[in-house]
Amino acid sequence: MKLVLAHCVCHICKYQAELAMLPPDTYGEFLLWGEGGQCRYLLALTDAVYAEVGDIVDEITGGGESGWESADNLQRVFGVVACDKAADGESFGIRRLPRCPGCQGSPLSLDRYTNPAVIVDVDVPSPSYHGWKQLSSEDKRKRVGEALRAAAVGKAVS
């Protein structure tokens, strides 16, 4: 698949890295990163497990006040609740970058996309859901509920 190279930085130790990312105007597709740098590609629009977890999130939260809020909750928890962990034992997450290889302290941050865009053609595997698929409906709901509570920590709760 075609990805765009982006400059990423660590705000603590100033480590710099170039990571292959989806273009900035992408909709309905995500790269999920593990803290150790492994990556999965999710085509969310047609992914049955993504839809299933979204339904459970809406059941638990009452759907939120807007579609945006609902999608926000889903994206916060999807990687950790549904995707099998990477070979290095790290879980995947939609809205984060790998941990800084320099200081191991904080996640890298996106600084800027290459401009003109440097396109790279790489194979990124899709996430697998073996663990998720073995859960009962009750356990799925429990796992999503716990992840939603964990994700709410650090978010302003009104």
Interface residues toward Zn ion, by CB under 5 A = 10, 12-13, 15, 100, 102-103
Angle at the Cα of 3 (from 40 to 5), degrees rounded to 5? 110
Cβ at position 98, least distance to Zn ion in Å: 11
> Toward Zn ion, which CB reaches closer, 15 or 113?
15
Cβ at position 109, least distance to Zn ion in Å: 10
> Toward Zn ion, which CB reaches closer, 103 or 118?
103
Residue 107 is given by DSSP the state B
Cβ at position 58, least distance to Zn ion in Å: 37
Name which of 127, 101, 153 is nearest 44 in CA terms: 127
> Toward Zn ion, which CB reaches closer, 58 or 90?
90
> Toward Zn ion, which CB reaches closer, 86 or 100?
100
Cβ at position 90, least distance to Zn ion in Å: 17
Reported in sequence order, the residue ranges of the chain that DSSP labels E, i.e. its strands, are 2-9, 16-21, 29-34, 39-43, 92-93, 109-113, 119-121
Handedness of CA 72, 48, 37, 148 (dihedral sign): positive
In whole angstroms, give the CA distance from residue 73 to residue 60. 11
As given in the structure block, the two tokens for residue 76 are 């916060």
Q: Determine the 3-state secondary structure of 99 from DSSP.
A: strand
Cβ at position 67, least distance to Zn ion in Å: 36
> Toward Zn ion, which CB reaches closer, 17 or 135?
17
